[in-house]
Amino acid sequence: MSDKPGRNDFCWCGSGRKYKKCHAPIEDRMDACSSEGHEVPHLKLLKTQQQIEGIRESGKRNTALLDFIGDYVADGVTTEELDRLIDTKTREFGGVPATLHYNGYPKSVCVSIDDVVCHGIPSDRVILKNGDIVNIDVSTIYNGFFSDSSRMFLVGDVSGEKRRLVDVAKECMELGIEQVKPWSFLGDIGQAINDHARKNGYSVVREIGGHGVGLQFHEDPWVSHVSQQGTGMLLVPGLVFTVEPMVNMGKAGVFVDKDDSWTVYTQDGKPSAQWEKTVLVTETGYEILAY
């Protein structure tokens, strides 16, 4: 890919179009933007048609896993049980859970309740109870392609104030994703998210963000959810990344559990909510690859 194809050759991306009708204009525009001082993605981050199809297939399974697990979220269920269900179903689908053994992470899913912001480790000592808000974060490797998404689930009767947090966090993710279109800025996403959270009296976690995904679990770019409009990497068709804001009812501060070195909590003990999708930048806007 370092040697550019001839303008009349087939494009390197496998679209079947000539290079001059496919990636040549994209690369020309990236070069021009880069000369103006903008950050542009490395070409290797732009997925080919075949890679996109692979991530799409992985994402379909990831989405189906979240559809499936909803029925099991109930008072009295342990997060260990949710882990077992996700692990088994992922393999039934022909996939492998991406979190298992990832940088030493011991389980096949992250389950984060109330003041756990993210990366909650399933355990037979953690039992869902009436009134909890629960994030279930699933990631799948299928045929070597990675996808990643998460949703919030409510256990029984949840207070109005926690339900509002869950709803606003979802709106934040959606508003962030609506910013995704070619030649806009990565920073536009975090601006939209942070504006909406603050307008509702909430705060957004700063230290943990979204990430490129597809050929590996975590790739460039890192996606801040508190960034400034008009800053950061230019969005270019073929980029794939997650948008996964963590929205806190109280202050934005978080800390990592000293004992397990994974679980992230809110500093002030107030609840946090998160939703995540895997998003592809297309020629006209975006496509969701995992819901």
Binding mask 226-265 for Co ion (x = CB under 5 A): ----------------x-----------------------
What order do you get walking across the sheet with 272-274 strand by strand? 203-204, 246-248, 272-274
Is the Cβ of residue 88 or residue 159 nearer to ligand MF3 in the bound state? Answer: 88
Q: Are 154 and 259 in contact (CB under 8 A)?
A: no
Pairing of strands 203-204, 133-142: unpaired
Binding mask 256-285 for ligand MF3 (x = CB under 6 A): ------x-------------x---------
Residue matched to tokens 């050929």: 215
Binding mask 148-187 for ligand MF3 (x = CB under 6 A): x---------------------------------------
137 is a site residue for ligand MF3 (CB under 6 A): yes
Name which position in 105, 171, 184, 195 contacts ligand MF3 (CB under 6 A): 105
Backbone angles phi, psi at 289, to 5 degrees: -100, -20
Q: Are 276 and 241 in contact (CB under 8 A)?
A: no
Residues 104-123 that bind Co ion (CB under 5 A): none
Query: How far apart are CB 291 and ligand MF3 at their closest, in Å?
Result: 14
For 181, the 3-state DSSP assignment is coil
Helix (H) or strand (E) holding 198: helix 187-199
Using CB under 6 A, which of the segments 38-46, 70-78, 100-108, 125-133 binds ligand MF3?
100-108
244 is a site residue for ligand MF3 (CB under 6 A): yes
Q: How far apart are CA 45 and CA 242, in angstroms?
A: 14
Which residue's beta carbon is nearest to the bound ligand MF3? 105
Is the Cβ of residue 139 or residue 266 nearer to ligand MF3 in the bound state? Answer: 139
CB crowding 80-112: b at 16 or more within 10 Å, else e: bebbbbbbebbeebebbbbbbeeeebebbbbbb
CA 51 from centre of chain: 18
Given the rule CB under 6 A, which residues bind ligand MF3? Answer: 99, 102-103, 105, 110, 119, 137, 139, 148, 242, 244, 262, 276
